[in-house]
Amino acid sequence: VADYRDVDPIFGTLADFDALVARAHEFGLKVLIDQVYSHTSDEHPWFAESRSDKNNTKADWYVWADAKPDGSPPSNWQSVFGGPAWTWDARRGQYYLHNFLSAQPQMNLHNRAVQDAVLDVMRFWLDRAVDGFRIDALNFAMHDPALRDNPPALPSNKPRTRPFDFQRRIHNQSNPDIPQFIRRIRQLTNRYDAIFTVAE
């Protein structure tokens, strides 16, 4: 996601989107849109500002951490798509977290300002008459702020194809604070009529 408030040009324009929703509603159809709030593209303006230095207004909008004394990543967390879930950023002199690709930096949803920004994005689409959302990777929306290492996975007969599969992912996903954010989402969608939302 490089821009939460626009349509990828390969799919058309916002005007095309508005026409699609209006026509669907004429047929009595509902339109849900897919949204991801756990991470953005590294091309998103929020990330560009966040990585510029440690003191800007969005410095804590993403998950940044210092290297260990030996220069290695802050924790042993692995990305879903292979390799460490941390990438060194020389501009800022810290690692940033990415649970997926390195081009998909992890937002810091523990930060209330980030939650507010995400809710503003939802409001933007609700005001365009969408009927709900499918929220991608919501279980990755928050992490253990102490950045504790994940323990090894228990023995299994299932084949393991990724380093990700060798850990019990108890610190980098499914954080117990996520339901509080979901309550804020529900409070917002309750202000609109018959909104259906499902999360991965």
> Catalytic: 200?
yes
**Which entry of 3, 6, 66, 200 is annotated as an active-site residue?**
200
> Catalytic: 26?
no
- Cα 67 from chain centroid (whole Å): 23
- Cα 53 from chain centroid (whole Å): 21
Q: Count the Cβ atoms, other than its own, within 10 Å of residue 102.
A: 17
**Single-letter code of the amino acid located at 114:** V
As a whole number of angstroms, the distance between CA 200 and CA 198 comes to: 7
As a whole number of angstroms, the distance between CA 4 and CA 130 comes to: 14
**Which entry of 49, 136, 144, 165 is annotated as an active-site residue?**
136
Is residue 105 packed enough to be buried (19+ CB in 10 Å), middle (13-18) or exposed (0-12)? buried
**Single-letter code of the amino acid located at 184:** R
42 in helix, strand or coil?
Answer: coil
95 forms beta bridges with: 65, 88
Catalytic residues: 136, 200
